[in-house]
Structure 1
Amino acid sequence: MAAITRDDLVAFYRGYYDARDAVVSMIGAISRERAQAIAEQLTRDLPAGGASRAIAPVVPPTNAIERRIEHPASQSHILIGQPALARGDPDFFPLLVGNYVLGGGGFVSRLYDEVREKRGLAYSVYSYFSPMLQPGPFTIGLQTQRGQTAVALGVVRETLARFLRDGPTEAELQAAKSNLVGGFALRIDSNRKILDNLATIGFYRLPLDYLDRWTARVEAVTLEQVRAAFARHVHADTLVTVVVGNGDAADGSVAPNPPAAPGAPAAPATTGGSVVR
């Protein structure tokens, strides 16, 4: 950060911000002609732009990495993750449904059940994918009392390893799909939410019928698709773990990463969004 100069920022702006790649989203009682005029007005001072410059993908780790940052807090803040998913990847919907079971479903997720309900190790624990043009992160996060960091990490890692090995049950899959489909209307129940989704469709070049087909694509997800998608995109043996807070013991030791799930491919993760992604 200290090495970044104004010239660096100007060069980045000129290289990536141009009218050709701009996406302008609008919603409301507006004609196409008026929308076109507004879009041209908003982008007229941007450079015309030439060939698009691709954003370099993040290089995925080849082994587990752990960083511990000491902080005089009463709790340890823990994030675990790795580059995982690009927005246009065909595994998007299987990962969306599977992650609802793992840690995206709040009170009904596996992580919540194992970490909070059964052991009381955290008030909240979650997982999510942040898909982008290049692989965005898969993340697991929680906070726990500093004296039980190792135990909490061990439970999270074991829960993830078991999910990668076995996937969801049929009952979990059906419940996840039902909840996602049932909540779809709440994802587009305001102009702002619809606008956010239109921006996502435009920026990531998704099909124009993306919202129309969203629930059907969720319903079509199978157990095998979830298992295969997680095996391709989440690798337990190359997770990055960051712990901010005091360690459990003088040596600051924590539980090691579990082995990769049996059958998971050794290839690195392949190469993000709004309310409905």
Structure 2
Amino acid sequence: MKRLLTAALTPLFTALLALCLSQAAQAGVKIEHWTTSGGARVQFVESKVLPMLDVQVDFGAGSMFDPDGKAGLAALTRAVLDLGAGARDESQIAEQLADLGATLGGGADTDRASVALRTLSDKAKRDIALSILRDVLHQPRFDAAIFEREKARTIAALKDALTRPDAIAGKAFWAALYPAHPYGKQATPESVAALSRDDLAAFYRAHYTVGNASITLVGDLSRRDAEQIAERIAQGLPTGRPPELPVMPQALTGQDVRIAHPASQAHVYLGMPAIERGHPDFFPLIVGNYTLGGGGFVSRLMKEVRDKRGYAYSVYSYFAPLKQPGPFQIGLQTQRKQAGDALKLARDILLDFVQNGPTEEELAAAQANLTGSFPLRLDSNKKLLDNVAAIAFYGLPFDYLDQYQDKIRAVTVDDVKAAFSRHIRADSLITVTVAGE
């Protein structure tokens, strides 16, 4: 089906499609929203550009909700969820989706778990694809044999990660950033081995509930059809409310974590918890971070650490806002003997930036890049779905996409300095070095 659609797109149609999507991005995105009779939140964007429908259902069911002693439960629950549901086994689901030219995707991260469907909007094909989605959400089988297979795969992947310095560094970094918060929980081969099929079923009943669901639809669909589809998806989900969020601990005391490893390259991370999604300092921070380490070869970290000293092939920084304050992180990979020097340089560049911020020229370049590339974030139904689903799940304003570019342009040098000073503190920085000398 994908090959047939691609072959049918002439160069002229492709150009017109790109133009329409670009104009839509510039004109803003109309997000209609309502609540189903059972309490599920719904977002809908009508798009007639292609005869496609994208649906994503999000739940507050990420790893932060793993019960004590059961790290890895959220991820394993989502992994098994769509491998057999209702009257269809794993093979029947895959075969029917292939026959329809539809795909089922999604996954689980720190905050949420999602199930996503892409299908043609033709009603006959759409209805069958949606019936599969509903079965997955309403009647997951959690077959014992498939559960054991996926558990074994997960354990094998976790054991492999224990040998890789990048994975070791990542786990140590999150554990140090969130020592008393679920964000710092780490699945281990032992914690996953202890999980049972009953654990998955209980987690599903507790978290895949109608009151904890956010349904996003984007594509060739009327508002009336969208309402009916959302209602059918919501009806049949377990009853329940969103889970309470854990208390975020107070500011950390900085620490330096060093882990021995025989690798020839050291992996170095530097950072601390910063902001949650929707924080008013988000725009000054991402504009400033473009200059610091988010702008690739034009960033200060890249110029100083790579170009001038040759300490690393790549060095970066980013903010990752989550439901609760997510991390700010600088990362680099360097030769073992240079790890200490590279870390000191990255820290010095960061603290200088916190104090002085970007120049006016750097600010203007960051704003031009971030606003100029913004339409590319909305140039397909899938990208639009991802953005609208995130807006809804994290409770952002529904005009967020309309206001994005203006918010970027409004940032000043003083805004960047003030925001970085509020959220990056020298005495709270965590450093993790794996395979350094």
Asked which structure has the greater RCO (Cα within 8 Å, sep 6+), the reply is 1
CA distance 1:160–1:43, change in 2 (3 Å)? same
Partners of 2:363 and 2:294 lie apart in 1 by 13
Amino acid at match of 2:380: S
* TM alignment of 1:88-167, pairs within 5 A: 88-167=278-357
CA distance 1:67–1:28, change in 2 (3 Å)? same
State the Cα distance separating 1:88 from its structure 2 match.
1.4
CA distance 1:13–1:84, change in 2 (3 Å)? farther
**Aligned counterpart for 2:238 among listed residues 32, 47, 50:** 47
CA distance 1:224–1:57, change in 2 (3 Å)? farther
* TM alignment of 1:175-194, pairs within 5 A: 175-194=365-384
**Aligned counterpart for 2:214 among listed residues 23, 41, 47:** 23
CA distance 1:60–1:83, change in 2 (3 Å)? farther
Return 194-203 or 41-50, whichever deviates more: 41-50
State the Cα distance separating 1:9 from its structure 2 match.
5.3
State the Cα distance separating 1:11 from its structure 2 match.
5.1
Normalising by structure 2, we get a TM-score of 0.54
The answer on whether the counterparts of 1:61 and 1:82 sit within 8 Å (CA) in structure 2 is no
Partners of 2:206 and 2:258 lie apart in 1 by 36
Aligned to 1:178, what secondary structure does the other structure show? Answer: helix
2:398 is aligned to 208
Amino acid at match of 1:233: H
Partners of 1:65 and 1:16 lie apart in 2 by 35
The answer on whether the counterparts of 1:58 and 1:83 sit within 8 Å (CA) in structure 2 is no
State the Cα distance separating 1:21 from its structure 2 match.
2.3
Which has a greater percent of helix?
Answer: 2
**Aligned counterpart for 1:220 among listed residues 395, 398, 410:** 410
Partners of 1:145 and 1:45 lie apart in 2 by 55
State the Cα distance separating 1:54 from its structure 2 match.
2.4
Amino acid at match of 2:365: A
- Once the two structures are superposed, residues 80-137 of structure 1 have per-residue CA deviations (whole angstroms, 9 ceiling, x without a partner) of 1211111111111111101111111111111111100110111111011111111011
2:48 is aligned to none
Aligned to 1:67, what secondary structure does the other structure show? Answer: strand
Which has a greater percent of strand?
Answer: 2
Return 62-71 or 37-46, whichever deviates more: 37-46
Aligned to 2:431, what secondary structure does the other structure show? Answer: strand
CA distance 1:187–1:170, change in 2 (3 Å)? same
2:276 is aligned to 86
State the Cα distance separating 1:40 from its structure 2 match.
3.0
Aligned to 2:312, what secondary structure does the other structure show? Answer: coil
1:271 is aligned to none
Whether 2:215 is the aligned partner of 1:56: answer no
User: Is there any run of 5+ residues in structure 1 with no aligned partner, and where?
Assistant: 249-277
The answer on whether the counterparts of 1:88 and 1:206 sit within 8 Å (CA) in structure 2 is yes
- Once the two structures are superposed, residues 132-175 of structure 1 have per-residue CA deviations (whole angstroms, 9 ceiling, x without a partner) of 11101111111001110001001100000100111111111111
Partners of 2:227 and 2:211 lie apart in 1 by 14
The answer on whether the counterparts of 1:78 and 1:244 sit within 8 Å (CA) in structure 2 is yes
CA distance 1:154–1:139, change in 2 (3 Å)? same
CA distance 1:87–1:75, change in 2 (3 Å)? same
Aligned to 2:333, what secondary structure does the other structure show? Answer: strand
The answer on whether the counterparts of 1:79 and 1:139 sit within 8 Å (CA) in structure 2 is yes
The answer on whether the counterparts of 1:57 and 1:135 sit within 8 Å (CA) in structure 2 is no
